[in-house]
Structure 1
Amino acid sequence: MAEFEMTVAGRRSVADGVVELVLRARPGEALPGWTAGAHIDLRLDPATVRQYSLCGPADDPSTYRIAVLREETGRGGSRRVHDEVHPGQTVVVGGPRNNFEFEKAPAYLFIAGGIGITPLLPMIEQAGREGADWKLAYGGRSRSTMAYLDELRSRESAPGRVQAVPFDECGLLDLPALIAELPPEALIYCCGPEPLLAAVELATAGLAPGTLHVERFSAREIDAGEDLPFTVELAASGRTLEVPAERSLLDVLLEHGVDVLTSCEEGTCGTCETPVLAGEPDHRDSILTADEQAANDRMLVCVSRCRSARLVLDL
């Protein structure tokens, strides 16, 4: 994936602990296009890359907009963005990439938890532009922590489309009630912390496959099987490598100089998605749907392994 330099053209606070950055292309350059649900990589130094959802207008060819929640107990990337990235600076960006594609439907239910509102903003804009029926249920710790709440209110074409549910005033989102009101043929798009996603998945278990679409900011808990050794064959070169039980597939590939793009290394960003030509992957990612995993034609090599003795990758 190509990387390019951008200038920080603007910065503002959009909620308690949330800063918005407007990144502008260099003079005379047009940015790669993107669709609702996409994210970019922000390279903070040669070894530190973080993914942030694009939350501005998708039809602006000169700027990207992201919003970053400061996470004091995180790995440090968000703290660096808050403390070190300011207007006038040059930053390195990769992408965009979309693992959260927005599908056309007559109606939508958007469910956001905290900073999970960011990938939903362009979807809401597109749904309104296309005349679809939509509703947003937006939960947060308090109103002051809920980014873009006023902006969302201004987008309401009918009263009641935006349901704000700050926990300190209202408690948790009433998911059963939201699902019960779901219009026929509606799709659900949800992004937020893992407890919310798990609750939404449970509440929608009886709906038709493909109704629910989620994006995770952190890896979900996976009941992984035993880590077994396996052989990986690289189809492009014919090389064969051994992956022992105690090492990841990605570690072995990188150790042997195989050119694999990687970023999160926890199966959430999609950077290392690799075509599978033969073998049965042991999928442990948080991106691929059940149908996509069952197809066994691709895998996230940072976390996934192999159930069969031999795996052939298109590398």
Structure 2
Amino acid sequence: MHGECTTPLTVTSLRSVAAGITELVLENVEGGPLPSWQAGSHIDLQLGPDLVRQYSLCGSTDDRGRWRIAVLREPQSRGGSAALCERVQVGDVLLATGPRNHFELQPSPRYLFIAGGIGITPIIPMIALARAAGADWRLVYGGRTEASMAYRTELRSADPDRVLEWPQDRCGLIDLDGLLGRPEPDTLIYCCGPEPLIAAVEAKSRHWPPGTLHVERFAPRPATGPVLNGPFEIELVDSDAVLMVPPDMSILEVVDQAGIYVLSNCEEGTCGTCQTTVLGGLPDHRDSILDEDERASNDTMMICVSRSLTPRLVLDL
């Protein structure tokens, strides 16, 4: 992580909230208020040298004294979930950056929330916001088993008529044909969960009005080959430089190699830290953040993974 301002946090509570899922409550080491945040926000936790992971905030946006996250212990963990679920203890200090929000809840009279597994975490504060706004909403919440579904009891008890639980071992996969077969007027869809669920929701909702679906991925979407296989140029207007990006390097790597400072973090197109304004040319968007409208506008790009459709890109760097 390239020197971004960090907030030291004390772990004040640890508890299991479902099979394989640990909740952490984090407070400012200095005891002061934490930065404000909105539903859909995530923080980046620095868990070791070159080990930074993103976690959605799932507590109350009104609580400036503590942040709540829930972490799934991944069987094939690259270090992040193992550290938080097995080694971190109450009293430990972690460094966080953010919050950032690429999954903002837009105003609407109706919402359909679809969550799979740990994808429930950003949805919880969205439901609170929708409830406070007087919006009509419902949640379809899927998981492998009931025991693996975090916060299911509190969600069901608070709004039993609006929450449909869908444990896979009893019900199979969520019936997306039935759920999304007929577009509902004035309704926005917010979906978070594993890639197969998100990809299926994207496919099944294509006949809904443009801009209806909003998703957040915890891992990069499956990669495809770049449209432009050869090298391309980047013109950096603030640095008065033109650089060549070869096929085997990212824009971020080329810029960094030239000594030009850009904040970066995940380097896989999921965190949004390296988001850069595009002033000319057409990006080949390869991130897992921007929606279809944002991609079509070509105003911005994630330079850690995205490339170019044109021989030259002009960037605000």
Supply the distance in 2 between the matched residues of 1:188 and 1:2 (Cα, whole angstroms): 34
Query: Contact 2:214–2:291 (CA<8 Å) still a contact in 1?
Result: no
Which residue, 295, 300, 306 being the options, matches 1:298? 300
Query: Contact 1:107–1:183 (CA<8 Å) still a contact in 2?
Result: no
Query: Contact 1:267–1:285 (CA<8 Å) still a contact in 2?
Result: yes
Query: Contact 1:175–1:200 (CA<8 Å) still a contact in 2?
Result: yes
SS in 2 for 1:119: helix
SS in 2 for 1:263: coil
Give the stretch that moved more between structures: 251-260 or 192-201.
Answer: 251-260
In the other structure, the counterpart of 2:65 is: 62
What percent of counterpart residues are identical? 55
Deviation at 1:187, TM superposition (A): 0.9
In the other structure, the counterpart of 1:274 is: 276
In the other structure, the counterpart of 1:12 is: 15
Deviation at 1:208, TM superposition (A): 0.1
Query: Contact 1:109–1:182 (CA<8 Å) still a contact in 2?
Result: no
Unaligned runs of 5+ in 2: none
Which residue, 109, 120, 123 being the options, matches 2:123? 120
The superposition leaves residues 137-177 of structure 1 with CA deviations (integer Å, 9 ceiling, x where unpaired) of: 11100000000001101220xx4311111111111111122
Instruction: Rate the CA distance shift 1:282–1:177 in 2: closer, same or farther, 3 A.
Output: same
Q: Give yes or no for the alignment of 1:208 onto 2:186.
A: no
SS in 2 for 1:285: coil
Supply the distance in 2 between the matched residues of 1:290 and 1:126 (Cα, whole angstroms): 25
Deviation at 1:28, TM superposition (A): 4.6
The superposition leaves residues 234-293 of structure 1 with CA deviations (integer Å, 9 ceiling, x where unpaired) of: 211202222111211111112222211112211111111011112221111111112211
SS in 2 for 1:202: helix
> What is the letter of the counterpart of residue 3 of structure 1?
T
In the other structure, the counterpart of 1:265 is: 267
Give the stretch that moved more between structures: 206-215 or 180-189.
Answer: 180-189
The superposition leaves residues 7-30 of structure 1 with CA deviations (integer Å, 9 ceiling, x where unpaired) of: 111110000110000000133522
Count how many residue pairs are aligned between Structure 1 and Structure 2.
313
Query: Contact 2:181–2:204 (CA<8 Å) still a contact in 1?
Result: no
Unaligned runs of 5+ in 1: none
Instruction: Rate the CA distance shift 1:83–1:166 in 2: closer, same or farther, 3 A.
Output: same
SS in 2 for 1:126: helix
RMSD: 1.4
Which residue, 256, 259, 267 being the options, matches 2:258? 256
In the other structure, the counterpart of 1:232 is: 234
TM score, norm. by length of structure 2: 0.95
Matches within 5 A, 1:61-210: 61-156=64-159, 159-180=160-181, 183-210=184-211
> What is the letter of the counterpart of residue 137 of structure 2?
W
Deviation at 1:75, TM superposition (A): 1.7
TM score, norm. by length of structure 1: 0.96
> What is the letter of the counterpart of residue 143 of structure 2?
G
Query: Contact 1:105–1:185 (CA<8 Å) still a contact in 2?
Result: yes
> What is the letter of the counterpart of residue 202 of structure 1?
A
Query: Contact 2:183–2:207 (CA<8 Å) still a contact in 1?
Result: no
In the other structure, the counterpart of 1:218 is: 219
Query: Contact 1:227–1:246 (CA<8 Å) still a contact in 2?
Result: no
> What is the letter of the counterpart of residue 101 of structure 1?
E
